[in-house]
Amino acid sequence: MNKRGFTLIEIIMVIVIFGIIMPGIMLYFMQGVKESAIPQRRTTAIFLAEALMEEIKSKRWDENTTINSTCSNASSCSSDTSDCTDGQTRQTFNDIDDFNNLNNSKIIDSQGNDISGKYPGYSQKVLVGYVDATDLNTRVAGPKCYKRIRVDITDTTSNEKTTLVSLMTYY
């Protein structure tokens, strides 16, 4: 470099070097930009799962209003194949068993409205079942005094499933 600035050859060399280096740098940058949406979709799935779990937990424990101390007179509706809705729609679900086997290919809110326009690419599924006090992870034939609620929100664009599990007891 002389005292008057850069020569034309020096400028061309810098341009060639940047031309060789920049595609490699841009490759890593582009990969980071693509993956930046994944945490946002994961956070949205967690939000949707928590909202559905809170809706379920806000309902009463059982269809029967008075349950004895052994829960033997609780409804026996919590099984893998049971339709426990009693003919109700989502807006009128009044106990947690009503949510058993809820399986929507799109997100439906507590009023029965399709909100998949706000949350596209998600599905929701719920399983409610009796569990024994000695093994809270395995569904058993009821009635028992413990119910296990499982909420799955699946991101249908990546097939990533977010699962929340909660236990409710009548005691």
Residue 154 tokens read as 């699946």
Range of the domain at 93: 39-169
**What is the structure's pLDDT at 55?**
95
Does residue 120 have a pLDDT over 90?
yes
Give, for 70, the enclosing helix (H) or strand (E).
none
Average pLDDT over residues 67-74: 76
Residue 23 lies in a domain: no
| CA–CA distance, 148 with 54 (Å, rounded to integer) | 14
Is residue 30 very low, low, confident or very high in pLDDT (cuts 50, 70, 90)?
Answer: confident
Residue 21 lies in a domain: no
Give the residue, 167 or 69, on which the prediction is more confident. 167
Residue 119 lies in a domain: yes
Residue 46 lies in a domain: yes
Does residue 33 have a pLDDT over 80?
no
Does residue 1 have a pLDDT over 70?
no
Residue 99 lies in a domain: yes
Strands (E), the chain: 103-104, 122-132, 135-139, 146-155, 160-169
**What is the structure's pLDDT at 86?**
67
Residue 8 lies in a domain: no
Q: Tell me the residue length of the chain.
A: 171
Instruction: Measure CA 142 to chain center.
Output: 27
Average pLDDT over residues 43-58: 95
Q: What are phi and psi of 50, to 5 degrees?
A: -65, -40
> How many folded domains does the chain comprise?
1
Is residue 71 very low, low, confident or very high in pLDDT (cuts 50, 70, 90)?
Answer: confident
